[in-house]
Amino acid sequence: MSFIMYLILFCFVLGLVAVASNPSPYFAALGLVVVAGMGCGVLVGHGGPFLSLILFLIYLGGMLVVFAYSAALAAEPYPEAWGSWPVVVHMAVYMAGVVLAFVVFGGAWYESSWVSVDELGEFSMLRGDVGGVALMYSSGGWMLIIGGWVLLLTLFVVLELTRGLSRGALRAV
């Protein structure tokens, strides 16, 4: 299990480096999807499969909208890919920074802290994520509704900002 978590975290950092080093929005959106998948893999490894699934589905829906806007606004006929030299140099510099940070701060990193939520309670009747989901819907129901309205408002704000001088689909007739 520890090897799988190390592999997921390595792919997570690699995806972050790919997002940070690439100037093209096409490949950056793909890197963000990889990072979201690996982050949800970390959540699954620590005992939160339901929360991980919900976050991944919501994030992929949001990324679909972001990718559509970034693809519509990008005016590059030939975007730089991950194999071009400036992107490879940026990736190498960022990975060197990650390795340097691991060497400096990696002394307090122990494998014994990698236990899932289900292994902490000896006589637990419920899984760790089920109680959190129930609490989110009982006490945080209003916050979910407010969050949905804020996302809808954000969608209209982004549509208004990106339409420019021309009148798009939201024009007054």
* C-alpha separations of 42 from 2, 45, 116 in Å: 11, 5, 10
Helix 85-105 with 2-21: angle, nearest 10 deg: 130
Give the least confident one: 12-26, 55-69, 100-114. 100-114
Residue-wise pLDDT for 109-138, tens only, equals 665 566 555 565 565 665 666 666 677 677
User: What confidence score (pLDDT) does residue 93 get?
Assistant: 92
Cβ 59 vs Cβ 100: under 8 Å? no
Burial of 95: CB neighbours in 10 Å, binned 0-12, 13-18, 19+: middle
Domain residue ranges in the chain: 2-120
Cβ 28 vs Cβ 90: under 8 Å? no
Residues near 62 by beta carbon (within 8 Å), at least 6 away in sequence:
none
If one compares 118 and 15, the residue with the highest pLDDT of the two is 15
CA distance linking residue 23 with residue 36, whole number of Å: 19
Give the least confident one: 14-18, 42-46, 47-51, 102-106. 47-51
